[in-house]
Every structure is written in structure tokens, then in C-alpha cells.
Chains A and B, each alone.
Chain A
Amino acid sequence: MTPYRSQADLGGQPGHGAVVPEPEGELWHAPWEPRAMALTVAMGATGAWNIDMSRAARETLPDYARLSYYQIWIAGLERLLMQRALVQADELAQARALHPALPLPRRVTADILPAVLARGAPTARTTAAPPRYAVGDAVRTTTAPPPHHTRLPGYLRGRRGVVCALHGGHVFADMHAQGLGEHPAQLYTVAFEGRELWGDEPGAQGLVVHFDAWEPYLEPYLEPS
């Protein structure tokens, strides 16, 4: 089995050049882009997979770095559909249905769409265990990347931070992405000094970076003796 490798973990990566701003209201750059957005959102709302599975499908696309974002969405959508045999390659090649449809948990019709969008998919859950950390606690993020989807970015691995907010229990993305269930875990916001991440780089002066961490991403920070 090939090791899990995300192509999407870009935080801190050098060499990507300048950001190109865009006027407000410029939503699409090709006629297919709105259809790509709608297909992705509509299929996501059927419940055939969850959002963490879709993130995993996208971030492991081998050509991720060469694709535009809506191209990533379409490639990810095709992959999710084919993994589940909801759609097969010959159907995409011939642009017609050749195999029977499989059942889906839900079908999102136009009449229920506003309610589906307004409800969204809240991830807050009650957890049996109380939070292990409190605001102000020093923590260290775990070091080893897991062999599956995770939301702990590489640039924040093995770093010292301070808990600055508690959000209660939330669906744990790492398990949810693997189809292993929700496994709710306590979610925290953790703050890192720029110097801890980037040393004396000028850009890191006066910088604090925050991220949202499930409890399994954190260990108590022990002062070096």
C-alpha cells in the first residue's frame, strides 16, 4: 500500500509567488465552473460521502498542483463516484448512463434545496470525556504524520502553542474521512508565536498563527529541564 500523501498541505511552502487579487463579484472564469460547483455541492448533499471523505479524495489527486480549484473539485467528484460505482468510467467517456443507478441516502431536489443549504451540516457533538486542556494551557502538537487524511498541517507539527479557545466536541475529521464514524473529540483553537514556526524571519515578527485542533492532535507541553 502506498503511504498517504496530501498534495494540499501548502502552509509555509516557499516558491509559490505573489497572490493575484480579484474583484468582488467575479465568481467564475469559465462557463463550466458554476456547473462544477453545483454538481459538487448537490452530490455532497446526497450523503453518499461526507465532507472529510471529499477532502481526502481531492488532496490525494496526484496532479493536484497543476489543477485549478474547480478542476480539483471535478476530479475529486469523479473519483468519489467511481470508488462507489455510482458512476463508471465508460459512462463518463460516452456521456450517458450505461449501468443501473445505485441507491443514495438522499436526493436533493430544487424544492428542498433552500432548507438543505440553510441547515448545513453542523459538526458539534456531545462527548463523554471532559476537555483535557483549558484556555492558557501550553500544548505541543503531535509530530508523526498519520497514514490517512488529517487536518493537522505539516507546518504546525511538533510545535509549542497555547490553547486560546474551547469549542466542545466535534466530529473528528481523521476518523470520519476513513469511513470509521464520527468519533467526536474536543476541539480547541491553539495559538503559535510566529517565532516558534518561522524563527527570525522578518515576516514572522509580531505574528501569531491560530488553528483548530482536535484533542488527539495535542500533548501537554513539558518545559525542557
Chain B
Amino acid sequence: MDLRVRALETVLAAKGYVDPAALDALIDTYQTRIGPRNGARVVARAWADPAYREWLRQDASAAIAALGYTGRQGEHMVVVENTPDCHNLVVCTLCSCYPWPVLGLPPTWYKSAPYRSRAVRDPRGVLADFGVTLPAGTQFRVWDSTAEVRYLVLPQRPAGTEGWSEEALAELVTRDSMIGTGLPRSPGARA
């Protein structure tokens, strides 16, 4: 694959279709600037600020854009909220649709056949693969991203975080908790 991709890049650059500097900038953008820490700041703000949470419910695209996260693969955002009785899980069974501005590039498993096939049929089993068990009787809401709407899970705020700053709260928010395959860290487990 290495030679094949290098040949393709060489030809595309020689024909003037791509700018090598833009390729480097793209990689840098998704390695260092656009990733799940963006989404963690959205979640932490929603935990800390009830008005912001309400804005997310009403118009997630605008509320997320207000924190500076816009654009490719996040043009039309919907936030789905976990409750004590209901857990949300996001998947794209047809390809790899994922909210890039808030979560960055999707992990390999998100694009894999095991996840895409089972998330809509046995979400409890999928969570077990991540070592997550939810109370019996929890309802599952699964969101199959079939159009250009992108979904972000708003996990429940961990107990014992009363009065925490947004920065400290954001540290508890994991990528997987915003897809629905994980839960936020507990305050005691903070790295």
C-alpha cells in the first residue's frame, strides 16, 4: 500500500490536482487541532451551563459552532442526551459517517464490520466488547447516520463533580462516551 499511495500522490501532485502543502496541513489539522477534545468541551459546557444544554437540544449546529467547531462532516449536528433510563449509541452501518469537527477522525472499530453490523441489533453486546455494562432495563437508542446529519452523544455528568470547572469536567469526557460505546471517567479515576 505504501508504494501505491506514494505513486498516487506523486501523480496527483505532478498534474497539479493536489497541493502537497495542503496535504501536510490536512494531516496536521486532524492530528493536532480537530479531535475529541473539541467534543469534550461541548459536553463540559453543557454539563456546566443549563442554558447551553438547552441550546444544544434546540439547535446543536449553532450551539457547537458558537464554540468554534464547524465544517466538514459536522454541517448538520444533532445532540442526543443520555438519561438514567436511556443510553444512546451512534453508528453508520453504510460507511463511516462521523462528526469530524467535534470528534476528529473515526477510530478503526467505528468503520469495521463488527461494529457496523451489531450496533443496530445487539448494542448491549457491543458495549460488553468495550467492558461497559449498563443496568438491566436500560433503554437503547441507536442512531444510524444515513444522511448528512451527524450525531453526538451527551453523556450523563458523573456524580461527585459539583462545582467543577468546565476544564476539569472536560477531562472526564472520553471519545467513546460521545459515541456511546463508553461512559465518562469517574472523578476518582482521573488520570
Contact = CB atoms under 8 A, between A and B. Distances in A.
Interface in A7-57: 8-14, 16-22, 24-27, 29-32, 34-39, 41-43, 46, 55
Interface string B170-184: 000011100001000
Contacts of A170: 76, 147-148
Contacts of B147: 123, 151, 167, 170, 173, 187, 212-214
Contacts of B129: 18-21
B120 A20 contact: no
Interface in B96-141: 96, 104-105, 107-109, 111-126, 129-131, 137-141
B10 interface: yes
Contacts, number: 275
Given A13-B113, A19-B115, A37-B105, A43 B17 contact: yes
Nearest to B87: A206
Nearest to A86: B17
A83 to B, nearest CB: 15
A165 to B, nearest CB: 8
Interface stretch (B27-35, B48-56, B161-169): B27-35
A204 B122 CA distance: 6
A71 B142 contact: no
Interface residues of B, number: 85
Contacts of A96: 10-11, 14
B74 interface: yes
Contact of A71 (B1, B73, B74, B146): B1
Contacts of A114: 25, 29
A203 B123 contact: yes
